[in-house]
Structure 1
Amino acid sequence: MNTVYLPFTLTLKARAVISAAGGDPNSSKTLGYIPGSTLRGAVARTLGDPGTDRDSPSFRTFHDLVLSENIRYLNAYPRISGRRTIPAPASLQRAKYPEDDGSADGNRALEVFDFLHSEKPEKRVAGLPYEFLALGEARPTLRAPSSGARIHHQRDRVMGRAWTERNGKVEIARGAVYAYEYLESGQVFEGLVVLRGTEDEIERRRAALKARLPETLLVGRSRRGSYGGDTRLKWSKAVSCEFEGAGTLGLALQTGDLDPGQVFRVLLTSPYIGRNEDTGQPDPTWFEAEILQRLAEASGSDPAARVVKRWWGFETAGGFNRKWRLELPQARALAAGSVMLLEATRGIPAATLAEIQHAGLGERQTEGFGRVVFLDPPVAALRLEIDDSTGEAQAVLPPDPPEEVLALERRLLTARAHRAADQTAALLVQGAKRIPPNSLLGRLRTPLRGEAETGLSHLKTWLGSGEEALKA
């Protein structure tokens, strides 16, 4: 089976709220990336209702681009210098205090320690402050997406304010204050669409996908309320694999055959939703059994590897179906960045590793879940670069505000200047012993009420040191 990857970039021209599962009901926490389900949903929305006739061209197109197992929409992660990032391995930890990791001196590099290695650091450690990492480079780079938060006020339309209705012991809130966390505009995210099948099937899907998707997409929630991302979609040349580049020691891609006794790592680059084959229940820890089973399938039923160490994280995975106007069932998932250290018990061909990376693991693979990459053995310590830029695209400036808004801004600025002047004057007169009477103050105000230049000239003379200066 042939496999082709179609890279694409999404450039945010506006803020985007990509809601994460969980959190307070009156708030929305955003993800640091754009999920593959977002692009898949955009394709489904563009195609519309396929109908019930399975032989119709519209239904076949809908099946090829949305329902088929031979197409996968991978998550769009932040981009660094033309390279797609992935979630950093959870086993990487930094020194807890800046003076211990070298960043206190202004260096744009961070010393990290891999806890899958047998040698442990003597320093106190903490998690990485940067969520994503660019693989395949000689100098791996860390990056955190730029995000912000904004508070909104939902008012009752009749009362004009938020209030609480009390009906006995029951309180009903009318209006609320809620907060949105969002991704800032100007950032670039890169994802991939995986196409599998014969050459003719891949070409048909590729042509249909590019023809159906518009260049401008709205993503996330509150798309009509100043959010929505207003993303610009741009396709790149097709490639044969998800990851490219040799990388560096400790973060190099494992692309060759594995010999018996050789140690390697498997890193989750997207959340994994698994189902225990014995109980039939959702089970994120089934990842271990599934990866060992897939490694053994290539050459007999004997185990091909054993688990040495693991460093896992967990999260809740959900979603929303706009067609049904319902949330998708939530499931406990193994978080992206979870990593395992394995040892090959017999030879494992490189083709087996490549097939696992092409196909993915677990459920909801069409939406980009269950993606993995194989890495070389860990090293005790690494030096990683830090990228603090806001993105490859310049932030889009808002249009000029209307005159009413400018007038409000001037009034607010004037009021703030008056308050600052009053506070400064109050500090100056704190130690005064002889306060001038109101009659004298009135006489002093008279020259100041004329032309601005004349008033400032009088004020400069009074506060000077000449003969006409005011004396205490």
Structure 2
Amino acid sequence: MLDVRITAHQPLALGVRPAGTAPVATHLHIPGSVLRGALAAAWLLDHGPLAQAPTRARREFLALFEGQVAYGPLFAPGSHVVPLSVLRCKYRKCALVVDEAFPGQETRSCPCGPLEPGRGAVEFAGPGRGQRVTENTRLQIDDRTGVAEEGLLFTRRALAHRDAQGGLRTFHGRLSAGSDLPEAAARWLAASRRLRLGGRRSTSGSVTFTAHRAERPRPVSGQRLALRLTAPAVLTDASGLPLDPADLRAVREALHAELSPLLGGAEVTAVERVWARRERVGGWHAASRLPKPVELAVSAGSVLLLAFDRPPAPEALGALAARGLGLRRHEGFGALEVASTSWVPPAGTEPAPDGAAGSDPAERPARLLHSTGHAAWFLDQLRPYVLQPGDGPAGPATALLGRPQLRRLTPSQRQEVTDLLENASAELLDRVLLLLEALHRFSTDGAPSS
């Protein structure tokens, strides 16, 4: 197993499936399939076309990219997948976390408002907040004339390559290689190199890839275990049809058949509960220039709570976490974490408790903007300044004060809003907008805003 580190030097256009006419969105992490494709392109650049390569080289390629290496997702520091079994403060103003997979004595009431379940999305918190996404808008070019078509725009979002402090953003994950991986392939995989990730590779996607042998993971044991997916998993029944997560009996039979040989004789006796969403996953095979088959998969963030007849050996559970679950694991699907205790946010990502007034530097300006009566308008007008590249002040946003909507501001309100727009960093402005949205929702729903 290898620990992998990716250092981004340019924005990463890690596009997701477009939705209608909206801008092409981007993943907030590096999926294993993206890393696999970039490494395959690097191998072909080093060795030449596969059809012309000697037999030994073709076997090395197949070992690296068609079954003996599992490519897990890579996450930036301060980011994480929130499992669907987790309940948190809806407005992220307190640190309350309740994991329904392992319920304890913690309270289920939040002083800030309702609790909200995780959605399986990748979230940034703590120092990683702010300046996550940049946008590029381009004209659509007519293929026949080579001239931009009038009135047609194309907007793509990309993951920013610098964090809130201005440093190059890094991503961390793991690659799991089988013991029978050829030595030459293992050496090639562990070598440092420059790669191009995602789309728009002529102007974005430059990264540095480094890898080293992974340390032994912390052992996990127990008779009740949760499998938390960090990537979509392609799960099928005995006939090869997509598995319905709501059918607990079918899930138990499928997991019993897949896991029993891996866990040293420990068998799945029951699937106590499943928290799951489903999605369609596909992809593009660059070598053949053909689309990959579209599968109905269980989404990242899904949780399967299993009961065993006896505690599996910690070594077997470590091997399961490295291997993953389901089909197409070598393409980046099925990555998971095995847990026997409640989920907690990674160190340094917990929101600050909402204690005395002034404990959060974003609270006072958020309440100020809300008090003007133009909360929704400020949210719409200021969001572009959070998305724009760079980590400096909001810049020309002070021009908003000349709009007719704000002519009734008192002199003190105008001065405080001016100070915010002139001096606030994008990270602080992002937090202000988050709290402002919470205050606005409270007021429109009839809940108290203070």
The answer to whether the Cα contact below 8 Å between 1:149 and 1:179 also exists between their aligned partners in 2 is yes
The one-character-per-residue Cα deviations of 1:208-239 (angstroms, maximum 9, x if unpaired) are: 2245x7x2221111122x3x22112222x302
Other structure's SS at 2:37 match: helix
- Return the offset for 1:74: 1.6
2:282 aligned to 313, 318, 326, which one?
318
The answer to whether the Cα contact below 8 Å between 1:72 and 1:367 also exists between their aligned partners in 2 is yes
The one-character-per-residue Cα deviations of 1:292-311 (angstroms, maximum 9, x if unpaired) are: 33443468989533122221
Percent identity over paired residues: 21
The one-character-per-residue Cα deviations of 1:397-422 (angstroms, maximum 9, x if unpaired) are: 89xxxxxxxxxxxxxx9xx99x999x
Which has the larger helix fraction? 2
Other structure's SS at 1:204 match: helix
CA 1:387–1:299: 2 relative to 1, 3 Å? closer
2:236 equivalent to 1:275: yes
Q: Which residue of 1 aligns with 2:361?
A: none
1:149 aligned to 114, 135, 139, which one?
135
Read off the aligned partner of 2:96 and give its amino acid letter. Answer: E
Q: Which residue of 2 aligns with 1:255?
A: 220
Q: How does 1:40-51 map to 2 (within 5 A)?
A: 40-48=36-44, 49-51=49-51
Instruction: Find the aligned partners of 1:143 and 1:25 in 2 and give their Cα distance.
Output: 29
Q: Which runs of 5+ in 1 are unaligned?
A: 103-109, 135-139, 164-174, 245-253, 389-395, 399-412, 428-472
The one-character-per-residue Cα deviations of 1:142-186 (angstroms, maximum 9, x if unpaired) are: 9668123343332658697645xxxxxxxxxxx622221210012
CA 1:114–1:223: 2 relative to 1, 3 Å? same
Deviates more, 1:325-334 or 1:113-122: 113-122
Q: Which runs of 5+ in 2 are unaligned?
A: 163-168, 352-388, 409-450
Q: Which residue of 2 aligns with 1:178?
A: 154
Q: Which residue of 2 aligns with 1:221?
A: 199
The answer to whether the Cα contact below 8 Å between 1:26 and 1:176 also exists between their aligned partners in 2 is no
2:93 equivalent to 1:95: no
Read off the aligned partner of 1:270 and give its amino acid letter. Answer: A
Instruction: Find the aligned partners of 2:129 and 2:256 in 1 and give their Cα distance.
Output: 32
The answer to whether the Cα contact below 8 Å between 1:271 and 1:369 also exists between their aligned partners in 2 is yes
Instruction: Find the aligned partners of 1:382 and 1:42 in 2 and give their Cα distance.
Output: 30
Q: Which residue of 2 aligns with 1:121?
A: 108
Q: Which residue of 2 aligns with 1:189?
A: 171
Instruction: Find the aligned partners of 2:88 and 2:26 in 1 and give their Cα distance.
Output: 25
Q: Which residue of 2 aligns with 1:404?
A: none
Q: Which residue of 1 aligns with 2:71?
A: 73
Other structure's SS at 2:178 match: strand
The answer to whether the Cα contact below 8 Å between 2:279 and 2:298 also exists between their aligned partners in 1 is yes
Q: Which residue of 2 aligns with 1:469?
A: none
Read off the aligned partner of 1:255 and give its amino acid letter. Answer: V
CA-based RMSD: 4.1
Read off the aligned partner of 1:17 and give its amino acid letter. Answer: A
- Return the offset for 1:284: 5.9
- Return the offset for 1:21: 2.6
Read off the aligned partner of 1:111 and give its amino acid letter. Answer: L
- Return the offset for 1:57: 2.7
The answer to whether the Cα contact below 8 Å between 2:74 and 2:174 also exists between their aligned partners in 1 is yes
The answer to whether the Cα contact below 8 Å between 2:276 and 2:299 also exists between their aligned partners in 1 is yes
Of the two, which has the highest radius of gyration?
1
The answer to whether the Cα contact below 8 Å between 2:227 and 2:337 also exists between their aligned partners in 1 is yes
Instruction: Find the aligned partners of 2:401 and 2:98 in 1 and give their Cα distance.
Output: 50
The answer to whether the Cα contact below 8 Å between 1:272 and 1:287 also exists between their aligned partners in 2 is no
Instruction: Find the aligned partners of 1:353 and 1:114 in 2 and give their Cα distance.
Output: 21
- Return the offset for 1:29: 1.5
1:334 aligned to 298, 301, 316, which one?
298
Q: Which residue of 1 aligns with 2:189?
A: 209
Read off the aligned partner of 1:116 and give its amino acid letter. Answer: A
Other structure's SS at 1:75 match: coil
Instruction: Find the aligned partners of 2:129 and 2:121 in 1 and give their Cα distance.
Output: 5
Q: Which residue of 2 aligns with 1:60?
A: 59
Tell me the TM-score normalised to structure 2 length.
0.64
The one-character-per-residue Cα deviations of 1:274-315 (angstroms, maximum 9, x if unpaired) are: 22223x323363765433334434689895331222211222
Which has the larger strand fraction? 1
The one-character-per-residue Cα deviations of 1:73-111 (angstroms, maximum 9, x if unpaired) are: 22111134xxxx65222211222345xx43xxxxxxx22
Instruction: Find the aligned partners of 2:10 and 2:190 in 1 and give their Cα distance.
Output: 23
